[in-house]
Homo-oligomer: A and B are copies of this chain.
């Protein structure tokens, strides 16, 4: 039975945004080189000249560090987007997509694919850090459109906007062997999502 007082839950502390970005880039580079299973906190510490204590203090563990590095890298988020129309918001989101970056991401996610399904902690971290926040911003965006009167609250396509969007991102490599870019995705939004929502 410890008599120490519990540590405060603050994990985001003193790293500058530049330093944080540097650490994330190093994590992604190691991930591409050796994959998730072979990535160690020791290797990240060595590559970034930081102490393992710092890494654990900031990110708790490897699944959280990797999930945050992926989030840092992710193109096409609705975070902070609010243009005043559904079409403007979706265009703003997909305009962040860069084809070259997306090729690299696809290679990265492919390497993660196996680990995501065999490692429940990585799975949970990716849901918490990537999937759930993004779904939250999408919900917020659609709720704003309903409040503005742009969208009827019972529009049957509302629950499927994420599915349509994911189709745009994932189907092009399968069908055309090419990564999606901002031009393709903007066209997809106009041809598919806007008509399906009827806005």
Task: Give the B-binding residues of A (Cβ under 8 A).
Answer: 107, 110-111, 113-114, 117, 127, 131, 135, 156-157, 159-160, 162-168, 170-172, 174-175, 177, 188, 190-193, 195-196, 198
Copies of this chain, how many? Answer: 2
Nearest neighbor of A170 in chain B, beta-carbon distance: B170
The answer for the CA separation of A110 and B193 in the assembled complex, in Å, is 28
Contact assessment for B175 and A162 in the assembled complex, using a CB-CB cutoff below 8 Å? yes
Chain B hits for A162, CB < 8 A: 171, 175
**Which of A117, A131, A159, A174: most chain B Cβ within 10 A?**
A174
Known A167-B164, A167-B166: A174·B131 in contact at CB below 8 Å: yes
Chain B residues within an 8 Å CB radius of A163: 167-168, 171-172, 175, 188, 192
